[in-house]
Structure 1
Amino acid sequence: MSDTHYVLMNDYVSPYQSINPIGILALEPDTELPVRPNRFNFPFNVKDIDGDEIFWNFNKIEPLLFDYRQYHGHLVSSKMMELLDGLRLAPHYKKRLNVYMKGKPVPHDYFYLAFDRGSWHKGVQLDPEQIFYDVERSTYQLDRDGVILPSGFIALTPLASQYDVFQMTNVFYLSRYIVFTAKAKEQLEAVGVKGGKFVPLQEAFDAALKEGRQKLSDLLPKVKKPIKPWFADVSKKDHQD
């Protein structure tokens, strides 16, 4: 089943995706400059927001041309959101995203999307309705802290078949990306997803490492070389002589 799934990522070579839009997600608009630092924990505490809108505040005018941007959650155009509303999404939170630049509202039509993250205890997902990465059937390695590195085959739990779109919150190194079925991916590609790119699920970890400019070898536990006695090389040389 996991062979028919894709991960949506930022496409930084797209002309529609600026590399670093300097904007701050917030619960209120900033009408005075400079924009205040954000004190709300996006996307982890989005479930605690009562209203149906949030704000994206900028110190200067920025061109926002994308349909999709992964940025402390997921920023999507109204066109993309309309299509997503017709798909089977895992439990999530949707907010209208109001854009403010230089202290004034700017007429952009975006939504903010965050998936429910379940319940956690000491790094373990406790909510069975939020477990999409199948630890038992997947092959993986562990990093230096014992966290799963999904470097091998990625298997999905039966729960994944209930949705067209979900987020694998129970595997840290892929937890920020949205996963789509092949059919959902085709529907999105038919209308266009400017600024986003689809990567096959089995290639997603390598793509995530590349995006973060990381190497797998840097994450793995260091293997200590056995210490040779000081006379080992001397004895070998004497034997050769």
Structure 2
Amino acid sequence: MDTFHKRLLLPTLLLCLCVFGAFQSPNWAEVRSALHQTFTPDSLLADTLSESEALATASEEAQFSWEDLKDYIRAHETLLTKPRACSGGYMSIGYGHVLTAKDKALYKGITAAQADSLLEHDLGLARSWVESQLDLAPQELMAITHFCYAFGSSKLRKSTLFQKLKNGEPIEQELARWVHVNGRPNAYLKKQREFEANLFYGRMPKPLRPVEPLLDEQDGMQEEQTQSQAAAEDTEKADSLETTQAQMLDNKH
């Protein structure tokens, strides 16, 4: 070993001892422990599961929901606050609630809030019946519940559509058959069946916002008349107040 290397040997040994001593200090021990805990397989698995759960939640939020279905019905069914015969010849009220002998009190008329309650009740009954008869995925259940809400459980149970659902067969063409009124195709019913098919097969996007419900024309006219009458009464009160103030000023002078 030459003189140059001998001179470097001692400083090199001292440097190695310093580094080794620092690594054995409590601070370095904590760093090593933290690094070990951060990159264990269990922690990586937990992070992966957390990300999966977040993605699943985001996916569920992006799907068409039961509240969205209610909003859809409100937007596409005319709100009747008084009984009226539907295209099928049945007396209905609210958002398509068919009146029976038990609904005598409803013949007097209902409010929009009562129509919402009827919608909640009828849709709940349809959903419970479909769930008890068929094993369907969430979006499929929603679509067939809407169909059942429109036509009733009795017609659905006796239909070819019901048998195909039981057998797990495609139903889009079968749904397309339920679009006739008095033997003639109906554009509104066609759109309803297309909505159910899109919902059943996961092609229905989540709406950005609820749409205002359709009002019965007569009820809408009555509401406009009420608003006009209220505005006229306000104007009359303002004119009366001005006249009274003018008379008081004349009396002072």
Task: State the TM bucket, normalised to the shorter chain.
Answer: under 0.3
Structure showing greater relative contact order (alpha-carbon pairs closer than 8 Å, 6 or more residues apart)? 1
Q: Which has the higher strand share?
A: 1
Q: Which has the higher helix share?
A: 2
Instruction: Report the TM-score, using the length of structure 2 for normalisation.
Output: 0.22
Structure of greater Rg: 2
